[in-house]
Structure 1
């Protein structure tokens, strides 16, 4: 990742504790504010607050976002590979790519991971397995997804960016080195250099220059510019902040947009 690459801000509009009109309106406001990417998450129940509170499914929501927006990129932070077959995921992603193209290239980012929230699996009838078995399934799915993209008619409008979430050194970073255009994690600034070195070693083993992978990380809602500056110095260029219903507070987003603009000036 080039040191002079622009900083981008993504916002995860967490689809919990809110009626859908609030989610829809928040996405519109984020696009108007100049956010670069909007994400949701791929779960079936709230992750915090009332465990049985209001909640909506991710991929159907993305279809609405693809149609209602004009500029902003969008996706799931991150899709759970376990919930849908690989070829179906590829076709859904390609369809979102076309819905969002509006006469140009599509704007969908295929964020994906192996899954972790056991309640989703139990209540929707998926086999939870182990962390290792879920990562193995993700590893097997990604080549099928990319192969399916090459067979679909019509094909995607662009190379659909793949975002891999997670920081496990033996499997996740190896999968990211092979497939990711964006690598997303929660790693703290002082641990990022080590993780990037592991990513590079995996890239070297398969002959890929991983410096082309965009490094993504989380921003807090507390406006900690010092941590954000340290992440930036360590190579992060896509920064995400999460906001939750019922009232999606955009003040933290406005702070980080000002911070982004200062970095990009």
Structure 2
């Protein structure tokens, strides 16, 4: 399967007013990105750890109304923060508000402070991944029962690189696999994912490969580096737009690279 290269912007809900965040979302859409992500955290991940921050899912519902063309979703939802059936219902509702543009990005969580302060059990990475796998089964069952149902088969994005659990869950459930790793490591992880796909009887070509890149250390915006990422199969590239400035230079660089390679 030959996939079109898609460009995403991750608009973080931190260190800004809602008006500033919403304006950044609309600006990203106007730039021509294909996907806009936020993240599901309760505290900032950069800058002042106690700075301004907003909740993810209520922001996503607002994004459904304020955008017209882009797909959008969390990068990524933390499944432990919300009942699985409720997650399914929220995703279905936002899918309808947006006219069928929602991407359900999900994961097991990792930021211990937010678990502790909001009263969720942190457990171990393995325990959290077991919960994620169980929750994804429940979410798919709930989607099949909801009235009205989702407007489309909502794409599921799963982030991570763990070979024993995470990539098995990706093989079972994901339409998009997202990971922050160097191209050669991504290639190695893809081989593991292919083995898991073979084991469950699924083609790895069904899964879109995605990666973050840009100034936060997830990879260079140099064209040669982006070519390397594309060569290992990545077709969804995203770059951050962080408050309070919401600098869009990294997103513009991705768009310029795509145009220069004729990959629109």
| TM-score tier (shorter) | over 0.9
Structure 1 equivalent of residue 163 of structure 2: 169
TM-score, normalised with respect to structure 1? 0.96
Structure 2 equivalent of residue 23 of structure 1: 21
Structure 2 equivalent of residue 38 of structure 1: 36
Deviation at 1:187, TM superposition (A): 1.6
Deviation at 1:224, TM superposition (A): 2.0
Deviation >4 Å, runs of 4+: none
CA distance in 2: counterparts of 1:158 and 1:191, whole angstroms? 33
Structure 2 equivalent of residue 68 of structure 1: 66
Number of equivalences: 259
Structure 1 SS opposite 2:87? helix
Structure 2 equivalent of residue 143 of structure 1: 137
TM-score, normalised with respect to structure 2? 0.96
CA distance in 1: counterparts of 2:189 and 2:163, whole angstroms? 7
CA distance in 2: counterparts of 1:189 and 1:137, whole angstroms? 29
Structure 2 SS opposite 1:237? strand
Alpha-carbon deviations, 1:69-102, whole Å to 9, x = none? Answer: 110000000000110010000000000000000x
Whether the aligned pair in 1 keeps the contact of 2:109 and 2:128 (CA below 8 Å) is: yes
CA distance in 2: counterparts of 1:95 and 1:254, whole angstroms? 31
Structure 1 SS opposite 2:178? strand
Two-structure CA RMSD over aligned residues (Å): 1.0
2:117 aligned to which of 114, 123, 134: 123
CA distance in 2: counterparts of 1:50 and 1:192, whole angstroms? 32
Deviation at 1:212, TM superposition (A): 1.2
Structure 1: give runs of 5+ residues left out of the alignment. Answer: none
CA distance in 2: counterparts of 1:156 and 1:45, whole angstroms? 30
Whether the aligned pair in 1 keeps the contact of 2:136 and 2:173 (CA below 8 Å) is: yes
1:202 aligned to which of 191, 196, 201: 196
Confirm or deny that 1:108 pairs with 2:102.
Answer: yes
